[in-house]
Structure 1
Amino acid sequence: MAAALMSPTPFFRRFLTQRSKPTISCCSHSFKFKRQYTSVMIVPTGIGAAIGGYAGDALPVARALSTVVDCLITHPNVLNAAMLYWPMTNTLYVEGYALDRFAEGLWALQPVHQNRVGIVLDAGIEEDLRLRHLQVADAARASLGLPIIEYIVTDTPLEVEKWIDPETGKSTGRIRHPDSLIRAVRNLVNRSKVNAIAVVGRFPDDDTDDVDDYRLGMGVDLLAGVEAVISHLVVKEFKIPCAHAPAMSPLTMSLSLSPKSAAEEVGKLWIANNFIFGGSMTLEFGN
């Protein structure tokens, strides 16, 4: 379900002072607080979590939890299973940076109907791979009726870098040209009035040895950490939802694939789920 995220209003601030734990409704009426029980489900990204550290393997847990709460608030690492997902009407899908601000009491959530989605494509993506992503966007518009308004190519390749932190063992990374991403998003927001962003960055193709453990259900997702870095950058700067999909060459077939990571094999253009979720992610406004 979609939600809007904004600075607490004076009423909301009074409400926060009157009760020890703020609640939020999954209904479409803002600040009614009709629901009695709200739960937040978080699975940290890129740390090799036993449940949720792979390709949407926390989704069954989220589905179960959603049946015993009035409103479930969670994030992409829980609900994204590459090309697979499961819609839940009482669940709010919130990008990680926005979820942090909500947990701090700085932003509030309000359900919304739909977002206008803009696409940012990394200039480092090869022409044929770029075309395939645009064809997925066309499919999402034609078959799902999603409001994908416009796409833009960054003026400079983002140059995504990823690695495992030797001290913590978690995946992380950076983009060498974050200003190029910021300029592209700003152009979309100003020109087309989009209020949700799908970013596709060209990721380095993995050596088989680097991903063998992950595909066997024992390692860390090498992509997850820097994907979070990218989406956090956009949400922090523009206070609108952002989801990221990596553009990569497909890996060779594995004969010993863990079910926990098998969703990655359904398709090699992960952007489709971002369109589905981007159209219904929280709309974010900062303080």
Structure 2
Amino acid sequence: MSCSEKKVALMIVPTGIGASIGGYAGDASLYAQKIARHIPLIVNPNIVNAAVFSGITENMYYVEGRSINEFVKGNIALVPSSDNKIGIIFDKAIPENVLNIHLNTINAVKTVYGIDVTGYEITQKEVGVSFFNTENKISSGSVQCPETLKEAGEKLLKKGAQVLAVVCFFDEPPEDDYENGEGVDIVGGIEAVISHYLSRELGCPCVHAPAFADVTISPEKVSPKVSAEYITPTFLPCLLFGLKNAPLTIKIDDSSKCGINKSNQGHCITYKNLHSLVVPVDALGSSAVLDAVENGIPVYAVKENTTVLDINRYSIQKQNDIIEIGSYEDYINNIKME
């Protein structure tokens, strides 16, 4: 029995690069939802995460960025799953009052939505997260003690968790253009680093949300693009909504290219199932884009979605391999015409 033969699309909007669509708080959700009405769609969490809201739908697969890269390379398969057992890692540095808000949040989500949270672990050491924007205005940062996150994650996996949400303590970000729906999400880059690290080390879906000491809600009006993050002291719910039915990942056996057990055969999704990849017009430097081109997967670069990266198809000398289109609506029309 072979892996699934159904076609799926892949939409990527990286975090922390000021994407005009998807660079804020779930503001790419509507675009993803429109695409997913026509074809099953793999999305990175940044596209649909919106604090206490989520843009995820039943026809989407919620997959962390590093896992997407490994998937497109052909190193892993995605195994559709539902009602995953979720473990949650909390940074020891989180103040007690902030932690209590998150614990109340977990209980609320469990009560209302029936999401299976198997438990949580507090790290043995403070994680030590810092963040900043580079000279090129790209979000970045550092983590002093990533091993303590890994250790907490291992404990949760031993207790039966299949997927992990991670909440680390962050200093208050400076006031900038973000609240006006402009500029770069300054914490996004290091959030991605944390998720990538844990996904690599633990071999399971891992997604991150920040926690801040200031839990007050500002009465000031902000851009609709970021409003979801300005009405709540916790960003954890969107992770739980996404992870609930996130596909699990499994390494592909080199000899068979579908190294899965019999119970999963016929259900896994590999890069061979990819119909196409759609990305912002100038965010083409990722391994997912380059490997998609190498594997003969059509790549669409959307002109209406720009970033601070300025890496276009000419920058990577793939002008003959990557298709530029005006909008996500154009991408949908291409799918509908097939």
> Which range, TM-score by smaller chain?
0.7 to 0.9
Letter aligned with residue 232 of structure 1: H
| Equivalent residue pairs, number | 251
Normalising by structure 1, report the TM-score. Answer: 0.83
Counterpart Cα distance in 2 of 1:123 and 1:86 = 30
Query: 1:74 and 1:252 mapped to 2: Cα distance?
Result: 29
Q: Deviation per CA, 1:86-134, whole angstroms, max 9, x where unpaired? A: 3422111111110111111111122112211111110000011111111
Equivalent residue in structure 2 for 1:234, among 198, 213, 231: 198
Aligned equivalents of 1:282, 1:230: Cα separation in 2? 19
What percent identity do the matched residue pairs reach?
Answer: 34
Deviation track 1:38-57 (CA, whole Å, cap 9, x = no partner) reads 21101121000111111111
Question: Using a 3 Å threshold, how does the CA distance of structure 1 residues 252 and 207 change in structure 2: closer, same or farther?
Answer: farther
Q: Does residue 153 of structure 1 match 2:122? A: yes
The aligned residue for residue 37 of structure 2 is 67
Task: Tell me the amino acid that sits aligned with residue 271 of structure 1.
Answer: L
| CA–CA distance in structure 2, aligned partners of residues 269 and 286 of structure 1 | 33
- Residue 197 of structure 1: which of 164, 177, 180 is its match? 164
- Structure 1 position 188 matched with structure 2 position 156: yes
- Cα distance change of structure 1 residues 251 and 206 upon mapping to structure 2, 3 Å threshold: farther
Partner of 1:265: 230
1:188–1:194 CA contact under 8 A, matched in 2: yes
Q: Tell me, yes or no, if the aligned pair for 1:198 and 1:242 is still in contact at 8 Å.
A: yes
Q: Which residue of 2 aligns with 1:274?
A: 239
Aligned pairs for 1:91-110 (under 5 A) are 91-110=60-79
Aligned to 1:27: none
Deviations 1:243-276 (A, max 9, x none): 1111112477364511111111231211111112
Letter in 1 for 2:250: F
Structure 1 gaps, min length 5 = 1-10, 13-30
Q: Secondary structure at the match of 2:54?
A: coil
Change in 2 beyond 3 A, CA 1:163/1:276: same
Aligned to 1:207: 174
CA displacement at 1:171 relative to structure 2:
0.2
User: Greater CA deviation, 107-116 or 169-178?
Assistant: 107-116
1:183 to partner: Cα distance: 0.8
Distance in 2 between the 1:186 and 1:158 partners? Answer: 16
Distance 1:182 1:84 in 2: 27
Instruction: Tell me how far apart the structure 1 counterparts of residues 128 and 69 of structure 2 sit (CA, whole Å).
Output: 27
Question: In the alignment, is the contact (CA less than 8 A) between 2:50 and 2:235 conserved in 1?
Answer: no
1:139 alignment partner, SS class: helix
| Higher alpha-carbon deviation: 192-201 or 252-261 | 252-261
Q: 1:232, CA displacement in angstroms?
A: 0.7
Structure 2 unmatched ranges of 5 or more? 253-338
- 1:46 — aligned with what? 16
Distance change (3 Å), C-alpha of 1:250 and 1:132:
closer
Aligned-partner Cα distance in 1 for 2:221–2:46: 24
C-alpha separation between the residues in 1 aligned to 2:163 and 2:243?
6
3-state secondary structure, aligned to 2:223: coil
Aligned AA for 1:259? P
Alpha-carbon distance between aligned partners in 1 of 2:68 and 2:172, rounded to the nearest angstrom: 30
SS in 2 for 1:181: helix
SS at match of 1:285: strand
Task: Provide the alpha-carbon RMSD of the alignment.
Answer: 1.6
Cα drift, residue 67 of structure 1: 1.8
Question: One-letter code of the match for 2:209?
Answer: A
Q: Distance in 1 between matches of 2:72 and 2:229?
A: 30
Q: How far apart in 2 are the matches of 1:258 and 1:186?
A: 39
Asked if structure 2 preserves the Cα contact closer than 8 Å seen for 1:95 and 1:282, the reply is: no
1:79 counterpart (45, 48, 59): 48
